[in-house]
Amino acid sequence: MLNLNRDVVVVGAGPSGLTAARELKKAGLTVAVLEARDRVGGRTWTDTVDGAMLEIGGQWVSPDQTVLLDLLQELNLQTYPRYREGQSMYIGRDGIPVRYAGGTFPVDPDTEAEMNKLVALLDGLAAEIGPTEPWAHPKARELDTISFHHWLRRHSGNEEACNNIGLFIAGGMLTKPAHAFSALQAVLMAASAGSFTHLTDEDFILDRRVVGGMQQVSLLLAQELGDDVVLDSPVRTINWEPDADGGHRVSVESDQATVNARFVIMAVPPNLYSRVSFNPPLPRRQHQMHQHQSLGLVIKVHAVYSRPFWRNSGLSGTCFGAGSLVQEVYDNTNFGDTRGTLVGFVSDEKADAVFELGAEERKRAILESIAGFLGAEALEPEVYYESDWGSEEWTRGAYASSYDLGGLHRYGKDQHAPVGPIYWSSSDLAAEGYQHVDGAIRMGRLTAARVCEAAKL
Ligand code: FAD
């Protein structure tokens, strides 16, 4: 068992915790990062499965994610664009696959007009409310007490338009059904990406990938931190008390190490805070707030083929179908790879349904759904893999956490508030880059700056 003395203990070696640790070290403080898993990177993870390199977690970067883009440059990591040449596929309410070009779904004029109306409304709200303090806006309560599903239907009677617009945030981002979160939570998601229009534009939001995989960000940050990162070290207990100088004495107990420090940063998703015993217990407000933050559920499906067969028929590999089992499909071929890879997503209640099936039956159902867009060749991949973050003890869902109905305006203002020496850092608490690696890095920097300020005691 290690016994360490540091200024700050960081719990969690994902991009947020590692960024915080790096910034604190730069500022002259000593750190230890305790990580539960046998690897760093958290929800970013590159692995080789049956000979194919797969990004099992977070991978895409968009042009507004400037903090991540700057860090990639600083770490000498290259990026490459997602393949997007050719036509896309769309399956609407009639269930018939249709090819289309450009950014607009091939829907009837009335549906298109209704979709444009909803996009304009959401763009307006995102611009007006912004990502930093959505709970403080005069419309916060009104928007937070109606589900996104019902808000859409309040503004449009066109079911196809509501389902298509719903998909961009519900299945596509929060990975919860649109009845399970509020319109305010949807506005935060849009504002955090610059606008709702950005979320509808896959060429923007899913613009580029990192050569060699996004996990390298964390691997390189951890390399810099060296022995200050301790793996296989789930934190079980955080004890703290005030000291005589107006600061705090902290003792953090994990399976591999006990660290005595002055500050703790909890750099884990909020749904996992309650896995740790806090002594003294957290205040009532945090106990309540943390029960209203939960992760969504999505299966990220990887299918690798001997060649990107869809490109030969002039298809980009991009497919949408709000009613399809696999709601979105993209060409996810690795940089310089001659094989072709598709990635698809099965979200929320559809994921529940296919997890009721056996593995083979589920694989068949998922591949048949992809084949519904791209043809029978999709049925026979060389490598098939389902990222199942819901089964990961140290994550328990995907992509990130959001508040249930009414939670964002009720608790949001307190989500960053430190409790004694304990600070909170996660992509799931970010404004810009919320639920993304960029937001994780922004939060790591912000939290490190707050700890540095408090360390001047
Ligand atoms: P995490 O990455 O979750 O790191 C938290 C760390 O804390 C983990 O390593 C965990 O093991 C550790 N931990 C938990 N509990 C304890 C404990 N008690 N003691 C010690 N350690 C603990 N983002 C994008 O930008 N682009 C994408 O394309 C994208 N796609 C995604 C696809 C999937 C399938 C998933 C799951 C996520 C995706 N994301 C994407 C989101 C992105 O991966 C996350 O926003 C980001 O990884 C969050 O970083 P974090 O450091 O806040 O948390």
pLDDT tens per residue across span 224-235: 999 999 999 999
**What are the tens digits of pLDDT across the range 407-435?**
999 999 999 999 999 999 999 999 999 99
> How high is the pLDDT of residue 19?
98
Residue 356 scores a pLDDT above 90:
yes
> How high is the pLDDT of residue 457?
55
The Å distance, Cα 15 to ligand 1 centre, comes to 7
- Mean pLDDT of all residues in the chain? 97
How big is the chain, counted in residues?
457
Q: Where are the beta strands (DSSP E) in 137-242?
A: 208-210, 229-230, 235-242
Model confidence band, residue 31 (pLDDT cutoffs 50, 70, 90): very high
Query: What mean pLDDT do residues 144-153 have?
Result: 98
Give the pairing of strands 422-424 and 263-266. Answer: parallel
Atom of ligand 1 nearest to the CA of 443: 52
For residues 444 and 267, the answer to whether their CB atoms sit within 8 Å is yes
Cα→Cα distances 377→201, 303, 310, 319, 347, Å: 27, 11, 9, 15, 24
| Terminal alpha carbon distance of the chain | 31
Atom of ligand 1 nearest to the CA of 272: 15
Q: Is 19 in the pocket of ligand 1 (CB under 6 A)?
A: no
Q: Is 369 in the pocket of ligand 1 (CB under 6 A)?
A: no
Atom of ligand 1 nearest to the CA of 40: 9
Beta-carbon contacts of residue 386 (< 8 Å; ≥ 6 apart): 299, 300, 301, 302, 362, 363, 366
> How high is the pLDDT of residue 386?
98
The Å distance, Cα 49 to ligand 1 centre, comes to 20
Instruction: Tell me which residue has its CA closest to atom 7 in ligand 1.
Output: 12
The Å distance, Cα 245 to ligand 1 centre, comes to 36
Residue 294 scores a pLDDT above 60:
yes
Q: For residue 406, how many C-alpha atoms fall within 13 Å in the half-sphere facing its CB? A: 3
Model confidence band, residue 404 (pLDDT cutoffs 50, 70, 90): very high
Residue 115 scores a pLDDT above 80:
yes
**What are the tens digits of pLDDT across the range 246-288?**
999 999 999 999 999 999 999 999 999 999 999 999 999 999 9
Query: What mean pLDDT do residues 99-122 have?
Result: 96
Ligand 1 pocket: which of 43, 235, 435 to mutate (most atoms within 8 A of CB): 43
Residue 362 scores a pLDDT above 80:
yes
Q: Using alpha carbons only, give the angle 154, 155, 156 rounded to the nearest 5 degrees.
A: 100
Instruction: Tell me which residue has its CA closest to atom 8 in ligand 1.
Output: 42
The rounded percent of the chain whose pLDDT value lies above 70 is 100
Query: What mean pLDDT do residues 112-125 have?
Result: 98
Q: Is the pTM value of this prediction over 0.90?
A: yes
The Å distance, Cα 345 to ligand 1 centre, comes to 18
Query: What mean pLDDT do residues 350-378 have?
Result: 98
Q: Is 420 in the pocket of ligand 1 (CB under 6 A)?
A: no
The Å distance, Cα 101 to ligand 1 centre, comes to 34
The Å distance, Cα 42 to ligand 1 centre, comes to 4
Residue 185 scores a pLDDT above 60:
yes
- Using left for φ > 0, alpha for ψ between -120 and 50, and beta otherwise, residue 123 falls in alpha
> How high is the pLDDT of residue 103?
86
